[in-house]
Amino acid sequence: MFHQKDDNILNGLEREETIYRIFPLKRFIELIKSKQLVLVTPEMWDDPFENFFLKADAYDKQGNLVDLSNLRNAWFGQCWTKNADTDAMWRIYSPNKDGVRVKTTVGKLFDAIYDERDKFSRLRYFIGQVEYKTKQELESFMSGITVSDMMFGGQNKWLAASLLIKRDAFLHENEVRLLVNEVNSDEAKLYNGLYKVSIDVISLIEEVCLDPRLGKEEYEFYQEAIKSLIGEGIPIEKSDLYEYNFDPIPLESKP
């Protein structure tokens, strides 16, 4: 069923699509215990081209420099992916080989953070598929747009969409982004570039998958530890990405 808030699901993303996120074990435990999703300012993302539009210098008609930091610093995001099991994602997001991959859907994630009681909710909460563009395409886009164009109608959708653009060097990430625009400095939610959203974590998670590089004993230990936190209802498995399970081959063909 279509809800009005689904207008804020961007770039052709569908509610039913499955998405994943790899948390280091420590962060996953924090997620379960705190019952909070933590979004970060794009300034904390690695790619210097992130939030490229609001990072740019802006000038008024008189040529005076205009500070866009209030607009820029009001956005927070969290990165997910459509990739179920890739070598690159485990190595990038689980450098200590203790990653925990969470599986959910676009709709469940968006519903978890979307506050329908907030009269400005349609201006604040977004989720969308990242679009990948060449540096030349980004430069072309920037040369043909103004801040007024992006804010036309006061819908915030175009500003959100600008945070769903990334260079094609990152195409392998197949990324989905959860975005929140927070214009009020609510100290209960904002701290050192972080935005924390209280959620029902257990209803969000459909499956937990542990790092494929874990040994058997480590996997069993982590599996039991996580089960004690989330209960029996959510499947916990280990990625089989690196498992070698081919049958033996004969030395010679049968006569």
Per-residue pLDDT reduced to its tens digit, 137-159? 888 877 766 666 666 555 688 88
Q: 103-112: string of b/e by CB count within 10 Å (b at 16+)?
A: bbbbbbbbbb
Q: What is the pTM of this model?
A: 0.86
* 16 token code pair: 């039913």
Per-residue pLDDT reduced to its tens digit, 183-221? 765 555 666 788 999 999 999 999 999 999 999 999 999
Cβ count within 10 A of residue 58: 14
> Which pLDDT score, from 0 to 100, does residue 68 have?
61
Give the residue, 111 or 248, on which the prediction is more confident. Answer: 111
Please compute the mean of the pLDDT values over residues 121-147 and round it to a whole number: 86
The full set of domain ranges for the chain reads 4-202
Q: CA 159: distance to chain centroid?
A: 17
Whether 104 has a pLDDT exceeding 80, the answer reads: yes
The rounded percent of the chain whose pLDDT value lies above 90 is: 57
> Which pLDDT score, from 0 to 100, does residue 248 have?
76
Per-residue pLDDT reduced to its tens digit, 212-250? 999 999 999 999 999 999 999 999 999 999 887 777 777
| Residues sharing a CB contact under 8 Å with residue 66, sequence separation 6 or more, in sequence order | 58, 59, 60, 147
> Which pLDDT score, from 0 to 100, does residue 158 have?
83
Dist. CA 130–CA 86, nearest whole Å: 18
* 34 token code pair: 């705190």
